[in-house]
């Protein structure tokens, strides 16, 4: 949990965020959660009543601070999406728990924050079509399953084919990548694809999972990107959106390493967002 505070401190120190640019979310209300998750599941999680196998599948102990963080992170993704619609780009210091399904969590994910944000904005009628761009090294399987057959949400995931989850779900577009892919090959794989998809789908909002686990030093990811490669990826995605006047909300997604290098990697999407916002006159 320390990484969230460290990321906050780093952004302030580097001038990537100023106090007036920071917004504090409220925990998501239950009615938002229930657009995506079953009441049985979220109540069992909050009351510490998940079965041992459900707990194991998540891989985190359900402590009181974790329960609080979980509801707050979902509220934060909804707020980030709203701020993106207002300002063009907005970045969440948490979020990206894309392995959560309607009735169970998995892979360190409890609630699917991007799915809840999408469902809230669609239910309110704020937007009618959006795209999830998920570049975490792991497939966004929960998100793909939750929106299977829903034409309002286009789920794109580019992920390492041999990484978790073993059994992949079918999104609107899945791009499985080979182990060991480096910066050049990775950026070539998504460089035309992301802009082309935005032209085809014409979403009113992009929810971008900028997981940093494709980094070569990540303990779980099997891709081989450098920090510069990740930064160029963030520039590419955000620039492609802003060029088309498509608002983009980013979430930090996964990353597994020592805290210091990890937090620096998570800061890259904020760096790219600040830079692209300037370049596009936001």
Please identify every residue annotated as catalytic. Answer: 99
**From 31-39, 123-131, 134-142, 260-268, span contacting Zn ion (CB under 5 A):** 134-142
Whole-angstrom CA distances from 272 to 128, 129, 168, 239 are 27, 25, 30, 9
Q: Which of 114, 254, 268, 276 binds Zn ion (CB under 5 A)?
A: 254
Binding to Zn ion, residues 137-176 (CB under 5 A): 138
Task: Please identify, using beta-carbon distances, which residue of 244 and 256 lies nearer to Zn ion.
Answer: 256
Shortest spacing between CB 146 and Zn ion, in angstroms: 17
Task: Please identify, using beta-carbon distances, which residue of 27 and 165 lies nearer to Zn ion.
Answer: 165
Q: Are 192 and 232 in contact (CB under 8 A)?
A: no
Omega of the bond leading into 165 within 30 degrees of 0 (cis): yes
Shortest spacing between CB 110 and Zn ion, in angstroms: 15
Interface with Zn ion, residue 113, by CB under 5 A: no
Q: Which of 136, 141, 174, 257 binds Zn ion (CB under 5 A)?
A: 136
Binding to Zn ion, residues 44-83 (CB under 5 A): none
Residue nearest to Zn ion (CB): 254
Question: Could you count the other beta carbons within 10 Å of the beta carbon of residue 221?
Answer: 26
**From 60-68, 136-144, 243-251, 266-274, span contacting Zn ion (CB under 5 A):** 136-144
**From 28-36, 125-133, 234-242, 252-260, span contacting Zn ion (CB under 5 A):** 252-260
Shortest spacing between CB 212 and Zn ion, in angstroms: 9
Q: Tell me how many residues contact Zn ion (CB under 5 A).
A: 5
DSSP string, the chain: -HHHHHHHHHHHHTTSS-GGG---PPPPPHHHHTTTS-HHHHHHHHTT---HHHHHHHTS---HHHHHHHHHHHHHHHHHHHHHHHHSEEE-SS---TT--SS--BTTBSS-HHHHHHHHHHHHTS-S-EEEEE-SSS--HHHHHHTTT-TTEEEEEEEETTSSPSS----SEEEEE-TT--HHHHHHHHHTHHHHHHHHH--S-EEEE---TTBTT-SS----B-HHHHHHHHHHHHHHHHHTT--EEEE-----S-HHHHHHHHHHHHHHHHHHHHHTT-
Shortest spacing between CB 280 and Zn ion, in angstroms: 28
**From 19-27, 126-134, 247-255, 272-280, span contacting Zn ion (CB under 5 A):** 247-255
Shortest spacing between CB 59 and Zn ion, in angstroms: 12
Task: Please identify, using beta-carbon distances, which residue of 203 and 211 lies nearer to Zn ion.
Answer: 211
Binding to Zn ion, residues 190-229 (CB under 5 A): 211, 213
Shortest spacing between CB 256 and Zn ion, in angstroms: 8
Task: Please identify, using beta-carbon distances, which residue of 7 and 274 lies nearer to Zn ion.
Answer: 7
List residues binding Zn ion (CB under 5 A).
136, 138, 211, 213, 254
């Amino acid at each position: 949990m320390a990484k969230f505070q460290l990321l906050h401190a780093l952004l302030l120190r580097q001038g990537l965020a100023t106090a007036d640019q920071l917004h504090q979310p409220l925990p998501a209300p239950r009615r938002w959660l229930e657009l995506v998750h079953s009441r049985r599941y979220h109540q069992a999680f909050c009351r510490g009543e998940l079965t041992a196998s459900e707990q194991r599948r998540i891989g985190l102990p359900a402590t009181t601070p974790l329960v609080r963080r979980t509801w707050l992170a979902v509220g934060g993704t909804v707020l980030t999406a709203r701020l993106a619609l207002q300002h063009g780009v907005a970045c969440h210091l948490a979020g990206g728990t894309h392995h959560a399904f309607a009735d169970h969590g998995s892979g360190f994910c409890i609630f699917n924050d991007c799915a809840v944000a999408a469902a809230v904005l669609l239910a309110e009628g704020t937007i009618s079509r959006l795209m999830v761009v998920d570049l975490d090294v792991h497939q966004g399987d929960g998100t793909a399953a939750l929106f299977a057959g829903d034409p309002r949400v286009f789920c794109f995931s580019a992920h390492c084919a041999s990484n978790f989850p073993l059994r992949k779900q079918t999104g609107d577009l899945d791009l499985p990548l080979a182990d060991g892919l480096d910066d050049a090959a990775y950026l070539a794989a998504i460089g035309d694809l992301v802009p082309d998809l935005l032209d085809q789908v014409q979403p009113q909002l992009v929810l971008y999972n900028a997981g940093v686990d494709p980094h070569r030093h990540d303990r779980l990811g099997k891709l081989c990107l450098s920090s510069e490669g990740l930064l160029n990826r963030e520039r590419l995605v955000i620039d492609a959106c802003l060029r088309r006047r498509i608002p983009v909300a980013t979430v930090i997604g996964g990353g597994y390493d020592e805290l210091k290098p990890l937090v620096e990697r998570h800061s890259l999407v904020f760096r790219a967002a600040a830079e692209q916002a300037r370049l596009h006159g936001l």
